[in-house]
């Protein structure tokens, strides 16, 4: 009981009751409920005690818990909790017990600005940092003058921003999720993409982004060149959703600096960009040899960077020896992996890695299961879906000229190939 009480004291480091309709003492029921569920192996992100519901996440050594006695929108609550983590991390670098204890005043200030009477308000850390600072003296002065961004319709961007050189950098980053079975058949695959911006533009510019979106081409009656069908599209709050829904135009006043403009998913059959074949041989219950062949199945003019092939090995393996046609390999015993690293992997090329291990107890092999081979990589100047930025128009009342720069990157997401090990 004493341990539990101490843990509860640590848990309730700080709290804010926005509406006053839930008793502050209700939080005392959270940890016993959580411990009971953990013992039963049934941990749930939403727990209830009477008519009070606890929605929680864990970050480092902290639990962030929202309480409600209504049928609240759970997605909104969780989005808010993760936003709190993001904002606090921006302020304190590391969000943990010590950073909360050292910054009580700032934390309370932030909680009051992030939400009002149970409704999320200003959640952009860049805007918050304009008037909530970590220096106590500045904090008092800042209160007297709230930035116009807080009362402005464009709450994510301050007025009066000036740059000598006006530029916007656009990164289109696609991650491939892929699962290949031991027979070499693709079991599941999809592409998750993000469009990230680094905006260095003066004033309040209006931007319009054009992609080779199939739905847009169908609306306008054009059918030239390759198009893509995007699903699960999510936008930054700066994008005018009504405009996108009516004519698929991505129109917005961008935040200053770095931001994620949008994310999307493309549900399509993806050919493995890096194909892996593996063979394992066992010798007289004392040695095992693994041969892995990697082939680049992408355009010859492209190059995959920092390729990492992670091959599972038996947990009792020892005395590793490696031979590679390129790159280098090492044994990572704490993860039961052989990791083969290739700094530069041109398209259409094949490379080999041979590994030999001592194996004192082959009998344990069947008990361990068969983890998949995983591959990490990054291919610049290439998107597997074929998505393209067709144009970026930048309109500002002063009429300045601005340069848009576009970069494409394809990288591995959850990229797994099961083997016959």
**pLDDT tens string 117-156:** 888 888 877 778 777 876 533 333 344 444 555 555 687 8
H or E element at residue 413 = strand 403-417
Q: DSSP E strands: which ranges in 157-315?
A: 167-180, 186-200, 206-211, 231-235, 250-252, 257-266, 274-283, 287-296, 303-312
Three-state secondary-structure class, residue 372: coil
The rounded distance, in Å, linking the Cα atoms of 410 and 178 is 13
What is the Cα Rg of the chain in Å?
27
Which residues is 345 bridged to in the sheet? 304
Task: Residue 158: count other Cβ atoms within 10 Å of its Cβ.
Answer: 17
Contact 387, 212 (CB under 8 A): yes
Q: 306 — alpha (psi -120 to 50), left (phi > 0) or beta?
A: left
H or E element at residue 10 = helix 2-11
Contact 55, 81 (CB under 8 A): yes
Which residues neighbour 131 within 8 Å (Cβ) at sequence distance 6 or greater? 142, 143, 145, 146, 147, 150
Contact 213, 230 (CB under 8 A): yes
Half-sphere exposure of 303 (CA within 13 A, CB side): 7
User: What local confidence, expressed as pLDDT, does residue 136 receive?
Assistant: 37
Contact 181, 418 (CB under 8 A): yes
The rounded distance, in Å, linking the Cα atoms of 136 and 359 is 62
Three-state secondary-structure class, residue 417: strand
User: What local confidence, expressed as pLDDT, does residue 143 receive?
Assistant: 44
User: What local confidence, expressed as pLDDT, does residue 153 receive?
Assistant: 65
User: What local confidence, expressed as pLDDT, does residue 177 receive?
Assistant: 96
User: What local confidence, expressed as pLDDT, does residue 3 receive?
Assistant: 31
User: What local confidence, expressed as pLDDT, does residue 287 receive?
Assistant: 85
Say how many Å lie between the first and final Cα of the chain, rounded. 48
Q: Using CB atoms within 10 Å of the CB of residue 40, give its burial: 0 to 12 exposed, 13 to 18 middle, 19+ buried.
A: exposed
Q: What tokens appear for 72 in the block?
A: 């609240």
Contact 282, 229 (CB under 8 A): no
User: What local confidence, expressed as pLDDT, does residue 120 receive?
Assistant: 84
Q: What tokens appear for 326 in the block?
A: 């390129």
Q: Which residues in the chain show pLDDT less than 50? A: 1-10, 136-146, 367
Q: What tokens appear for 324 in the block?
A: 């590679």
Which residues neighbour 341 within 8 Å (Cβ) at sequence distance 6 or greater? 306, 307, 308, 327, 328, 329, 330
The rounded distance, in Å, linking the Cα atoms of 189 and 268 is 7
The rounded distance, in Å, linking the Cα atoms of 40 and 150 is 46
User: What local confidence, expressed as pLDDT, does residue 20 receive?
Assistant: 84
| Count of helix runs (H) and strand runs (E) in the chain | 10, 21
Tens digits of residue pLDDT in 236-264: 999 999 888 888 889 999 999 999 999 99
The rounded distance, in Å, linking the Cα atoms of 273 and 417 is 12
CA distances from 367 to 287, 315, 319, 358 (A): 18, 11, 22, 18
User: What local confidence, expressed as pLDDT, does residue 18 receive?
Assistant: 85
H or E element at residue 33 = helix 30-40
Contact 339, 294 (CB under 8 A): no
Contact 221, 164 (CB under 8 A): no
Percent of the chain with pLDDT over 90: 50
The rounded distance, in Å, linking the Cα atoms of 131 and 133 is 6
User: What local confidence, expressed as pLDDT, does residue 351 receive?
Assistant: 97
User: What local confidence, expressed as pLDDT, does residue 179 receive?
Assistant: 95
Task: Residue 51: count other Cβ atoms within 10 Å of its Cβ.
Answer: 10
Which residues neighbour 394 within 8 Å (Cβ) at sequence distance 6 or greater? 166, 168, 201, 205, 206, 207, 402, 404
| Max Cα-Cα span within the chain | 80
């Amino acid at each position: 009981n004493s341990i539990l009480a101490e843990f509860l004291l640590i848990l309730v480091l700080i709290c804010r009751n926005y509406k006053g309709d839930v008793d502050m003492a209700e939080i005392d029921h959270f940890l016993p409920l959580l411990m009971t569920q953990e013992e039963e192996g049934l941990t749930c992100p939403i727990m209830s005690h009477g008519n009070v519901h606890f929605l929680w996440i864990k970050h480092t050594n902290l639990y962030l818990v929202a309480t409600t006695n209504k049928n609240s929108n759970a997605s909104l609550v969780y989005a808010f909790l993760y936003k709190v983590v993001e904002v606090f991390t921006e302020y304190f670098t590391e969000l943990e017990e010590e950073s909360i204890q050292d910054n009580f005043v700032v934390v309370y200030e932030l909680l009051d600005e992030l939400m009002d009477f149970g409704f999320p308000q200003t959640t952009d850390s860049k805007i918050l940092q304009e008037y909530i600072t970590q220096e106590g003296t500045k904090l008092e002065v800042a209160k007297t003058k709230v930035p116009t961004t807080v009362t402005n319709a464009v709450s994510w961007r301050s007025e009066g921003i000036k740059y000598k050189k006006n530029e916007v950098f656009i990164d289109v980053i696609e991650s491939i999720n892929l699962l290949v079975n031991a027979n070499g058949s693709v079991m599941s695959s999809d592409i998750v993409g993000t469009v990230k911006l680094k905006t260095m533009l003066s004033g309040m510019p209006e931007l319009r982004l054009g992609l080779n979106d199939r739905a847009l081409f169908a609306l306008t009656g054009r059918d030239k060149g390759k198009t893509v069908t995007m699903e699960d599209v999510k936008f930054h709050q700066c994008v005018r959703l009504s405009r996108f829904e009516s004519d698929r135009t991505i129109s917005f006043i961008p935040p200053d600096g770095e931001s994620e403009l949008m994310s999307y998913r493309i549900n399509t059959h993806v050919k493995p960009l890096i194909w892996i074949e593996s063979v394992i041989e066992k010798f007289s219950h004392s040695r095992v040899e693994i041969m892995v062949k990697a082939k680049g199945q992408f355009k010859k003019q492209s190059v995959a960077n920092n390729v990492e092939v992670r091959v599972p090995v038996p947990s009792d393996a020892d005395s590793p020896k490696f031979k590679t046609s390129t790159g280098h390999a090492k044994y990572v015993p704490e993860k039961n992996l052989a990791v083969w690293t290739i700094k530069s992997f041109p398209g259409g090329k094949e490379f080999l890695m041979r590994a030999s291990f001592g194996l004192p107890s082959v009998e344990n092999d069947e008990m361990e299961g068969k983890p998949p081979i995983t591959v990490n990589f990054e291919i610049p100047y290439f998107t597997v879906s074929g998505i393209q930025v067709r144009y970026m128009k930048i309109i500002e009342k002063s009429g300045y000229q601005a340069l848009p720069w576009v970069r494409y990157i394809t990288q591995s997401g959850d990229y797994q190939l099961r083997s016959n090990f």
